[in-house]
Every structure is written in C-alpha cells, then in structure tokens.
Homo-oligomer: A and B are copies of this chain.
Amino acid sequence: MNLPESINPRRDTRLDSYVDSYAQRTHGLTVSAVRALFSVANRPEVVSLAGGMPNITDLPRAALGAAMDRLITERGIQAMQYGSGQGEPFMREHIVEVMAEEGIQAHPDDIVITCGSQQALDLVTRTFCDPGDVVLAEAPSYVGAIGTFRAYQVQIVQIAMDDQGIVPQALREAMISLRALGKRVKFLYTIPNFQNPTGVTQTLERRREILAVAAETGLLVVEDNPYGLLTLEEAPIPALRSMEAERVIYLGSFSKTFAPGFRVGWVLAPHGVREKLTLAQEAATLSPPVFSQFAIATYLEQFDWRAQIDVFREMYRTRRDAMLHGLAEHMPAETTWTNPRGGFFVWVTLPEGLDSQAMLPRAVTARVAYVPGTAFFADGLGSRNMRLSYCFPTPERIIEGTRRLGEVLHSERELNETFGIGTTAMRYLDSSSSPAPDIS
C-alpha cells in the first residue's frame, strides 16, 4: 500500500484573511499532521489500535429503540424542549446513584451536566485558568486535556508517574518549585483509574498520598474518571472524591459505560465552584443536550445498566487479554508495556533507538496504527512510547495488529542496526496533536 499525498502536512494554499483578527488563544490551535495520517488509518484494511472509541455493539438496540419511541411519544414535549443550564434534576439524581458505585456520596445540586466530559474539562479550565496559569498533569496525560489546556493558554507541567500513578514526592517538589517561581498552579488534572494513555491505576495508598500532598500544598485536584467502572479485575478502588469532597472536582461520563453519541458527561464540584460552572455552561450552550439526558435517564431506569457494564467488562477483558497475548508473542526483545487492570489502553515502551512518531507512516503502510507517545506530552517527550487501544477491534484483529506491529518493529531495529540509529524513518510529522475523537 502506498501512502497517499494527503498524509503530508497540510499546506493549504488558500490564504486566511482573518489571521490578524484571531484571539491570542487561537494561534496555538493548529491542525496536526497526525490527523491526516489517521484518515488513512481508518481504512478497513488497517488494524487501528489508535482509536479510543468504545465498542457499543453489545447494547440492546431494539429494546433501546422501543424505549426511545415511548419517550418521544409520551414525554417528547419536555424531552425536546430547552432544559436547565445545570442539567435536568432527574439526570443529576441518577448520576448520584452511578457515582455511589465508586464510593462517592454527593448531592444532585452539586452536579453540572456537560456535553461529554470533554466539556466538563473545558468549563473547569475556563472557570479557573487565566493565560500563563499552570495546570499539573500526569506524564503522560490525555491528549484531549492537553488540547483544552492549550486552548486556554495554560502552562502544562507534567509530573512523573510510576506503575502506581503519580509519584507523590515529584508532585510535592513540582509544587515547591513552581511556587518559588511565583507561578499560579490552578489544579492537578489526574485520571486515577486505567489512565489514558498508560492504563496505570493509582493504588489506594497512592491516592491517600496524593491527597495528602494536595492538602499540604493547597492544591485543587480535578479527578477525571471515565473508565472507573470498566474494571477488569478486582472491585473499583474508591475515587479520590470519595475520600476528600472539598478539594476534589470530579468529572464523569456515560461515554464508556453506555454510549458516547449522546454526549453526556458531568462535573461534581464544591458548591461555590458548581455555581460558577453553571453560569459558564449557560454562556456556553444555554443548556447541555436535553434529549440526551432524557434518553440516558430512560436507559438507567428501564434497563439493567449494571448488568450491561458486566457485559462490557467481559468483552473488554477478552480484548485486553488478546492484546497482552499478542504483545508477548510478537514484540521484539527490550520492548516493555503496562498491564492494565481496566479501561482501554496499553502503553508500550520501545527499545532504544526507535521513534514511534517517525515510524508511524511505516506502520500504517504495514496496515497497523497506534498513537505515538509524543501526543500525550506537552513538551515533545514520549518518542519511545506508543499507546495501543484494545477497546474497538475484535480480539482476532488485535492479535493480527500486534503481529504487524511486531514486524514493523523488527524491521526498524534491523535497519537501525545496519545504518545507525534514527536514520530510517520519515521525520516530518510534527509533535502537536489535536484531540480528534479517533485518537482520544
């Protein structure tokens, strides 16, 4: 397969006559060359281990369709009308029940519904961050969060993590250094469960330590937990928010436990913050998707959503196991990877001398795609890493994907050994990666 010209970085010949009129924040937003490559990666012959799309084929569509029919026929007048800027009260009550599954005690009045949890992140950043403020995040962290922080001209400082999550001492030292520099650190953004992109989960002990550092340094914590209920092994570990209510802003989502197309996420925040978030939501959308809230409430009321999550767990467990099996089988020596206990992702570290970003066009030519590690760092690190997703392809395709990837890695290593490190790959791809949904 030859790569089409479209994977070259975009060089649009049309002039943008508004380039002098944009806000400062807009100049940081650029189209990533990686995006063009992913349009190739989405072809059916390519096994994409890049996307973060959940597999929703197991949802009971016929029964859902019938329930939506009744919803519109019987309550369509309310479900299709404008709604509350904060989100519908019944939806917020259901969310309290959902969060209780992870040990969180909350009041519906402290929740704001959002257009997916991406918008929760947007509203929180908008509410707290002026240009130049600092946000702390894991190294590496979710590409979509990095994109949102950049869109608000925030300085992102990424904190070292190990196989138990953020290293508390690294967090403490960063706070001390940044304060000494006079920086305004607005919050720590963290994904404690099955982190995107690493698949790493903070242990209970580690969570306590992180909260202790936060208390000690006066740091607000933004806990993003889209995958928490998709645990593939033991019961969920209590959320940070379940241990500390006043210092934690919690972001949740139905995108992975039900379906992303309804675009319903939420923020749970201390009361004063919640009030600001509601005002921000009204300025941003008047009200978050109303029909979607009725649809999801209908699902939660009329279906056994806990049993459905068990179905999802079983399905993702099989895929996770396929990926770990495929990696053990096909990766060259000196390649390592994480062992996720839930969620969607495995984080691979390549042998020295290999560059995941430079290698991507070659991998796509070999009909396998991944997200280069550089996408998850604000500063260009991560070139020896890649994120592999096991959420969307079938187990057979996952194994085939790891086989193809193994071949690419083996041949890259051989080339390196023959011609010297780093000379083999195309190097034109830039490191800034915009958060397109297929690489979230």
A residues with a Cβ closer than 8 A to B are 12, 14-19, 21-26, 29-31, 53-54, 56-57, 59, 61-62, 64-66, 68-73, 76-77, 79-85, 115-116, 118-119, 122, 126-130, 133, 144, 147-148, 150-151, 186, 220, 246, 255, 259-263, 270-273, 275-276, 279-280, 282-292, 294-295, 434-438, 440
Q: A21-B220, A147-B283, A436-B282 are in contact. Are A53 and B72 (CB under 8 A)?
A: no
A394 to chain B, nearest CB (A): 14
A159-B130 Cα distance, complex, nearest whole Å: 30
A5 to chain B, nearest CB (A): 18
A148-B72 Cα distance, complex, nearest whole Å: 32
Contacting residues, chain B, for A72 (C-beta < 8 A): 61, 64-65, 68
Do residues B23 and A129 form an inter-chain contact, with CB atoms below 8 A?
yes
**Ranked 8 nearest A-B pairs via Cβ:** A16-B272, A80-B259, A65-B72, A261-B290, A80-B261, A69-B69, A65-B69, A65-B73
Q: A61-B72, A261-B81 are in contact. Are A434 and B29 (CB under 8 A)?
A: no
Do residues B437 and A115 form an inter-chain contact, with CB atoms below 8 A?
no
A66-B19 Cα distance, complex, nearest whole Å: 47
Contacting residues, chain B, for A118 (C-beta < 8 A): 283-286
Do residues B29 and A280 form an inter-chain contact, with CB atoms below 8 A?
yes
Contacting residues, chain B, for A21 (C-beta < 8 A): 128, 186, 220
A21-B129 Cα distance, complex, nearest whole Å: 8
Contacting residues, chain B, for A276 (C-beta < 8 A): 22, 26, 29
Q: Which of B65, B260, B287 contacts A263 (CB 8 A)?
A: B287
A83-B115 Cα distance, complex, nearest whole Å: 13
Measured CB to CB, the nearest residue on chain B to A440 is: B286
Contacting residues, chain B, for A284 (C-beta < 8 A): 115, 118-119, 122, 148, 151, 284
Contacting residues, chain B, for A286 (C-beta < 8 A): 116, 118, 144, 435, 437, 440
Do residues A116 and B81 form an inter-chain contact, with CB atoms below 8 A?
no
Contacting residues, chain B, for A128 (C-beta < 8 A): 18, 21-23, 26
Q: Please, could you name 22 A-B residue pairs with CB atoms under 8 Å apart, sorted by A?
A: A17-B246, A21-B220, A22-B127, A23-B126, A29-B276, A30-B279, A53-B82, A59-B80, A68-B68, A82-B440, A85-B436, A85-B437, A116-B285, A122-B284, A126-B151, A144-B282, A261-B290, A262-B290, A263-B287, A263-B291, A283-B435, A286-B435
Contacting residues, chain B, for A62 (C-beta < 8 A): 73
Do residues A263 and B285 form an inter-chain contact, with CB atoms below 8 A?
yes
Measured CB to CB, the nearest residue on chain B to A435 is: B282
A277 to chain B, nearest CB (A): 10
Do residues A260 and B16 form an inter-chain contact, with CB atoms below 8 A?
no
Do residues B83 and A437 form an inter-chain contact, with CB atoms below 8 A?
yes
A273-B17 Cα distance, complex, nearest whole Å: 9
A66-B68 Cα distance, complex, nearest whole Å: 8
Contacting residues, chain B, for A438 (C-beta < 8 A): 82
Measured CB to CB, the nearest residue on chain B to A263 is: B289
Q: A18-B273, A220-B18, A292-B291 are in contact. Are A259 and B437 (CB under 8 A)?
A: no
Do residues A260 and B436 form an inter-chain contact, with CB atoms below 8 A?
no
With A18-B128, A26-B128, A259-B291 known, 12 other A-B pairs at CB within 8 A are: A25-B126, A26-B280, A31-B275, A61-B77, A66-B69, A69-B69, A80-B260, A118-B284, A118-B285, A147-B282, A263-B285, A286-B437
Q: Looking at A29, A128, A263, which has the most chain B CB atoms within 10 Å of its CB?
A: A263
